Structure 1
């Protein structure tokens, strides 16, 4: 079910699948995607889990803003969590959404039961071609978000790295291995800063492994959520 909610930054759209009395998974999508990226995952987790998928600012049908930053997106998530009165929930994030998940979990550790990220390290300084100044044809999200977030996603923020130690919940960091363009060693570095984390590689998954290797992804995810992995 799609719903809208007014937060301090504006109107946000989210998808709510499952029944409210089941454990909640809050899922955050990657750059250029929206909450629909988790629709198939939501169906796979039902009926044992409720999945709530937020369109991040500048994406999907959520508000477009003049300024974008990772911490602003973190604060959007915090406002969203408060509005829905979520407590003791699972936080799941892919790529951009994974970074926002790290930032939220370190700022609000008591709210997060488990953390799962998909092929996502915390940002560090590394080289990647900058995006073009003009949005390529077919882009549906606010290209200003890509332009403004790119520098933050490719720079080391010492405070963010230090604050990973605040995330005390169990964490599962899935990675796509050599077929991913994401620096895989940085995912290992991220896990080492977390008090209770493990890294699992899904061979051939590439970056969007929750789509390319869906069966393996959901198998690891559900076992982790049930405390079996």
Structure 2
């Protein structure tokens, strides 16, 4: 289990697959309160033929470190890992908060990004007045209830309760300080007005039933991307968990397309 020390944190990561394969490496970045194992299905599939990299973000999973005040700090961690692994150019795949991270990298270092994939992610956190009030109230709940409420909302209706409980338990194991400060960083995230700068081919894949980061917000940002493909799947916000095979197929199709 390789690790890298970066700015007071120890990042745990996986680096698998053949180094001499065709195509640049795939780099997978998970979301808020999750860990690198959200990508198990994709890693198993793609590592057979190309290099794949994933990490636990600082304070998540098996990585140490405090929460961050801005998404850019997490983007710096990912870039530090790529530098350490001598990866000059890659395909970046991010889920939810991970999608915010990879957008940040694409804007700051376009030379490092061959393609971009955003899974259940958006470019600006936007709330209706009612939902904004609900989110503000939810932060005042006891910590475990706050996390549990958000994780329950992340799954589509009818998803097995025992599976949801498993992910709630894993998420509440993430330190409170990390969860709450990263939550603030996400709420402050806004690159919507800069999306025209991202020239890399981009796949926007979203769960139809996503109420955490609603589909209509993704569709609005899709119009701003110069070179975007949209794929909508019958799932909630936790698309990598609910429909892993369909997500992998969407990635496969996108990667096989010519730029």
> With structure 1 as the length reference, what TM-score do the two structures score?
0.89
**How far has the Cα of 1:96 moved from its partner?**
1.1
Partners in 2 of 1:25 and 1:156 — Cα distance?
24
Give the aligned partner of residue 18 of structure 1.
Answer: 17
Partners in 1 of 2:51 and 2:139 — Cα distance?
35
Give the aligned partner of residue 176 of structure 2.
Answer: 143
Q: Larger RCO: Structure 1 or Structure 2 (Cα < 8 Å, ≥ 6 residues apart)?
A: 2
Instruction: Tell me how large the CA RMSD over aligned residues is.
Output: 2.1
**How far has the Cα of 1:195 moved from its partner?**
1.4
Give the aligned partner of residue 45 of structure 2.
Answer: 44
Given that 2:120 and 2:210 are in contact with CA atoms closer than 8 Å, whether structure 1 keeps it comes out as: no
Distance 1:21 1:131, change over 3 A: farther
Give the aligned partner of residue 99 of structure 1.
Answer: 100
Superposed CA deviations along residues 117-154 of structure 1, whole A, max 9, x for unmatched, are 11111122312523356431841212212212323323
**How far has the Cα of 1:184 moved from its partner?**
1.0
Partners in 1 of 2:142 and 2:84 — Cα distance?
35
- Mean Cα deviation higher: 126-135 or 208-217: 126-135
**How far has the Cα of 1:156 moved from its partner?**
6.1
Partners in 1 of 2:218 and 2:68 — Cα distance?
28
Give the aligned partner of residue 219 of structure 2.
Answer: 188
- From the two aligned structures, give the one with the greater helix fraction: 2
Matches of residues 103-142 of structure 1 in structure 2 within 5 Å? 103-126=104-127, 127=132, 128-129=134-135, 130-132=138-140, 134-136=142-144, 138=169, 139-142=172-175
Q: How many residues align?
A: 225
Match of 2:233 among 199, 202, 212: 202
Q: Give the match's secondary structure for 2:195.
A: helix
Partners in 2 of 1:222 and 1:172 — Cα distance?
11
Question: Which stretches in structure 1 are left out of the alignment for 5+ residues?
Answer: none
